[in-house]
Amino acid sequence: MTRAEVTTLMVPHQIQRTGVRRGLLEDLALKILYLHGEMSLLELSERTCLSLGVIEEIFQFFRKEQLCEVKRMAAGSHVIVASGQGKQRAAELMTINQYTGPAPVSLADYTMRVGMQSVQKITLRPADVTRAFYQMVLDQDMLNRVGTSLVSGTSIFLYGPSGTGKTSIATTIPAVYDDSVWVPHAVVVDNQIVSVYDPGVHLPSSLDIAGESDRRWVLCRRPCVLAGGELSAEMLDLQFNGISRFYTAPLQMKANNGVLILDDFGRQRMRPDELLNRWMTPLDRRVDFFTLPGGRKFEVPFDLFIVFSTNLDPTQLADEAFLRRIPNKIGVDYATREQFIEIFKHECQNRTVPCDEGIAEYVVQCLRDMRQSLAQCHARDLINQIFWAAKYAGVEPRITARSVEQACRAHFLPVGKRHG
């Protein structure tokens, strides 16, 4: 959906229209009431993200089963508390699982919504890529290749020497998307709740939602999940909390309809071949499979653009069969002289530090004299050294020939030096 096409999601005003089993919603509402004490039906509606119509049905069930007591009326709404019987029932439910967040959506509704918002259905134009990467110094061929990869909605392999900007390219990719998607707070599968919405990953959209919408879903920017060396096999499966007794979605499920970046691929806690074997089928069929207690298997959409970024040789990380499943491969090399000069000047401007005339060209000469590559990261690294030296000396930083020479000596090992 584009910024001009944000729609609301139909609000279910009856339990049967939620797509979720009645008993699960009743149990959830009772646990929330038990934990919060006195609540009006309006407050219970807000906590569960269910409509007042649905809460009224649940309230009538509570009254019939003597699970609540009505304390008073406030602003036209009943104020209730859990009865002794209700408290006992809620305490029993808490031993089964302690989920007391917004009501979940069904797996069927989640699958349908992810399909409607697929990364393969996005319309991108060269202007979108240029806008997102305007702060980076990339030639037109690189921009075209990145844009073409994104249109595929599949995956990309960024490879090349360390310090050439692969991570910067990868983390800028989400900025290309200029739209929003709906993300559920949670999904229910075979009576098991899987929490999906993660405030650290899902950034609420700044767009206003016109009219009433199903509050079990949050309108967010397309998500971006970044995983580096900490990635383990366990993080790619449902995360079960033995205390709260409900599940949290794995990284790839949180990244659905967005981008998953595997930075420094090949240096994760899990072996590359282990990861590649785990995702062979999802990359092919765009569905992932998980297993619940008791052996029940279910499938979830695998709708994400995956970025593999590495400074290792791709052919040493994956076999031909897996590399074929990553259709886009882009080598990222060192900057040219002209590109490095532009990068250095941009870095100075962004950090508002004075720079003597011709100093960027002098930096290039210093790097060559020290037999260093024109790695894109060197511009930032050397300016950092200059800032640190100025801070220590208690003066304002300034980019001069002398400060550049000092920064080079501090940052680089002398040519030919070996430890020991």
Place of tokens 């999802």: 282
Helices and strands in the chain, H and E counts: 17, 17
Closest CA to 407 of 355, 350, 357, 329: 355
What is this structure's pTM? 0.90
- Among 21, 24, 186, 27, CA closest to 91: 27
Q: Does this chain's domain 21-101 share its CATH topology with 108-331?
A: no
Tens-place pLDDT, residues 200-247: 999 999 888 878 999 999 999 999 999 988 899 899 999 998 899 999
Specify the DSSP class assigned to residue 209. P
Angstrom distance (rounded) from CA 14 to CA 222: 30
The span from the CA of 234 to the CA of 150, in Å, is: 28
Query: If DSSP codes are grouped into helix, strand and coil, which group holds residue 253?
Result: helix
233 DSSP 8-state letter? G
- For 38-76, write each residue's pLDDT tens digit: 999 999 999 999 999 999 999 999 999 999 999 999 888
| pLDDT tens digits, 249-281 | 999 999 999 999 999 998 888 888 888 888 989
Q: Is the CB of residue 280 less than 8 Å from the CB of residue 268?
A: no
The token pair that represents 79 in the structure block: 């104020």
Which CATH fold topology does 337-411 show?
A: Helicase, Ruva Protein; domain 3 (1.10.8)
CB of 37 closer than 8 Å to CB of 73: no
- Decide if domain 21-101 falls under CATH 1.10.3260.10: no
* pLDDT band (50, 70, 90) for residue 1: very low
**What pLDDT is attached to residue 75?**
85
Residue with tokens 């930075």: 263
Question: Could you tell me the fold of the domain covering 108-331?
Answer: Rossmann fold (3.40.50)
Tell me the CA distances in angstroms from 249 to 174, 196, 215, 356, one per residue in order.
21, 5, 19, 52
113-148 pLDDT per residue, tens: 999 999 999 999 999 999 999 999 999 999 999 999
Per-residue pLDDT of 314-328, as tens digits, reads 888 888 888 888 999
Domain ranges of the chain: 21-101, 108-331, 337-411
Comparing 276 with 28, the larger pLDDT belongs to 28
In the numeric block, which tokens belong to residue 343?
Answer: 């990068």
Asked if residue 197 has pLDDT above 70, the reply is: yes
Quick check: 418 pLDDT over 80? no
